[in-house]
Amino acid sequence: MFEEIARFGTEIAAIDEHGNNISYQELVTEGDKISQDIEKRSLVFSLCSNTIGSVCGYVGFLRNKIVPLLLSESLDDELLKHLIEIYQPAYIWLPSTKVTMFSQWNTVYEKYNYVLVKTQYESVTLYQELALLLTTSGSTGSPKLVRQSYENLQSNTESIIEYLELDSTERAITTLPMNYTYGLSIINTHLTAGATMLLTEKTLMQKEFWEFFKREEATSFGGVPYTYEMLNKLRFFRMQLPSLRYMTQAGGKLSPELHRQFAEFAKESGRKFIVMYGQTEATARMAYLPAEYSLEKYGSMGIAIPNGRFELWDVNQQVITEPGVAGELVYYGKNVTLGYAECQADLAKGDERQGRLETGDMAKMDEDGYFFIIGRKKRFLKVYGNRVNLDEIEHMLKDHFQEISCACSGVDDKVYVFVVGTNVTQELLEEIKEFVSKKTGLNKNAFTVKSIPEIPKNDSGKTVYTELEKYY
């Protein structure tokens, strides 16, 4: 990765929210300087932010065959120390504001408000094709990591560039953390295409984000379902954003109604809205819905990316070929990652998946070969003998009650619906219970509807369902 980006020379690779910029030649030079004293095949912890310093380190590590574990710079200190004890990195690349945390070790390089700290640990044994480590998207401080190879990164990057038709004129603004596989894929693809990254730590809930967007004439952004729920509440459709060309969505299933609304907006305004599907375990993307079908096939995750393919398996792992029959979604492609690591010794393991990923998602296929996610394999409950899809209930509620945020969880024979909103009354909670009872055909006693202060989310905007259990 990034071996050839120097050819873009003086073209601007990245601009940050403070007006600083860096060319491709400078990015290569500075990335190599950061890496110059680190032995190849060393393990480095990189505490990521959407800043020039963070990106420089990342590019330098990959170019020089150094293996980074990408973590959030806001990761809890105790969790970070736990990961360091388990994996024993030789170096840590982190914001200078956090360097006091590691005062027992030497700082060996500093640039762009980032510092490189050399630890006391010796180099660990790494599989020769291991390029990158990420936490699983549902975890924050878990020792469980996803092992990605150079082939994984390259094949996924090339595929996305192809189906999004990316070129050097694109100016993508960051809306997701770079330690999250979706946010990272945007950086990988745009830098490989010679485009410009607009780096900001601001969220789309802040006016500074939109000021930066307009000032630097952003052409695209990506978001998870939560992003688009917030955009809808911010009256995004009324915003004047003449530079915007396209929007992408992944990181979970967008409600069909919101999908339809954004697809209509894109069509009416001459833009593209592209829904995608992926997992960290597939380096990022497995499927996309071509923009021209976004409205016609709203609610669909689309078709396999170039050079990938899908199967649907029944409970006996037999391939389902008939349209409309639900099964587990199984993906094949060069972007399927090597496997997991849960301890330092696992970093030496080879390819355990051999290009096949059993996604854990349940899906159906229509007559045209387009796939529709209907829920997680483990997001099903048995309620009074009936199989209940929690994701399906959640999407129904979000479509019908757009003024609220909600999340569904539960145990067998009891579904919990948690609601957040400014005007949540007891009458509304009863209305929600009536609605979901009628839609599912289950007795109202099967449902408990509660108002809570907020829906727990991780850094990538996904609901942390385990944290809802305290409200049971």
Percent of the chain residues past pLDDT 90, beyond the cut: 82
In a domain, 7, yes or no: no
One domain, residues 423 and 361: no
Confidence band of 138 (pLDDT split at 50, 70, 90): very low
Question: Do 219 and 359 fall into the same domain?
Answer: yes
Region 453-467: mean pLDDT is 87
CATH of the domain at 71: 3.40.50.980
- What pLDDT is attached to residue 142? 66
pTM over 0.75: yes
186 pLDDT above the threshold of 60:
yes
Poorest-pLDDT segment among 54-63, 150-159, 251-260, 354-363: 251-260
Provide the greatest CA pair distance for the chain: 66
- Say which CATH number the domain at 387 has: 3.30.300.30
**Cα-flanking dihedrals φ and ψ of residue 168, to 5°?**
-70, -10
- Among 134-143, 157-166, 454-463, the minimum mean pLDDT is found in 134-143
How far, in Å, are 129, 334, 389, 451 from residue 416 at the CA level?
45, 39, 12, 11
Q: In the predicted model, is pLDDT for residue 177 greater than 60? A: yes
pLDDT in tens, 204-230: 999 999 999 999 999 999 998 889 989
Q: Has residue 417 been placed in a domain?
A: yes
Q: State residue 255's pLDDT score.
A: 87
Residue 457 placed within a domain: yes
Q: For residues 36 and 112, state if they share a domain.
A: yes
Confidence check: pLDDT of 160 > 70: yes
What digits encode the pLDDT tens for the residues 410-459? 988 899 999 998 889 999 999 999 999 988 888 899 999 999 999 998 87
| Residue 190 identity (one-letter amino acid) | H
Number of domains in the chain: 3
Asked whether residue 140 carries a pLDDT value surpassing 60, the answer given is no
- The CATH number linked to 288 is 3.40.50.12780
Same domain, 224 and 369: yes
415 and 310, same domain (yes or no): no
- On whether the CB atoms of residues 139 and 181 are closer than 8 A, the answer is no
Is 167 found in the same domain as 33?
no
> Per the domain annotation, does 292 fall within a domain?
yes
What is the overall mean pLDDT for the chain? 93
Residues 113 and 161 in one domain: no
Residue 466 pLDDT level (bands cut at 50, 70, 90): confident
Phi, psi of 80 (to 5 degrees): -60, -45
In the three-class reduction of DSSP (H, G, I as helix; E, B as strand; rest coil), residue 56 is classed as helix
Q: Is 346 a member of any domain?
A: no
Q: Which domain holds residue 445?
A: 380-471
Instruction: For residue 159, give both structure tokens.
Output: 């595929």
Q: Which two tokens stand for residue 18?
A: 């403070």
Amino acid at 14: A
> Within a domain: residue 131?
no
pLDDT tens for each residue of 317-373: 999 999 999 999 999 999 999 999 999 999 999 999 999 999 989 999 999 999 999
* In a shared domain, residues 74 and 160: no
Q: What is the DSSP letter of 206?
A: S
Nearby residues of 402 by Cβ (< 8 Å), 6 or more positions away:
232, 257
Please, which residues have CB within 8 angstroms of residue 75's CB and are 6 or more apart in sequence? 47, 140, 141
**Whether residues 325 and 230 fall in one domain:** yes
Do 399 and 273 reside in the same domain of the chain?
Answer: no
CA 470 to chain centre: 26
- Is the residue at 5 inside a domain? no
Average pLDDT, integer, range 239-254: 94
Residues 202 and 53 in one domain: no
Q: What pLDDT score does 141 carry? A: 53
B/e letters for 142-167, b = 16+ CB within 10 Å, e = fewer, are ebebbbbbebbbbbbbbbbbebbebe
Residues 6+ apart with CB under 8 A from 153: 1, 62, 131, 132, 188, 283
Position 272 scores a pLDDT of: 97
Q: Is the pLDDT of residue 387 over 90?
A: no
Does 89 share its domain with 179? no
Residue 343, in any domain of the structure: no
Q: How far apart are CA 170 and CA 165, in angstroms?
A: 10
Q: Give the whole-number percent of the chain exceeding pLDDT 70.
A: 99
Task: State the pLDDT at residue 16.
Answer: 97
Strand order through the sheet with 414-420: 405-411, 414-420, 447-451
Collect all residues with Cβ–Cβ distance below 8 Å to 377 and sequence separation of at least 6: 328, 360, 361, 362
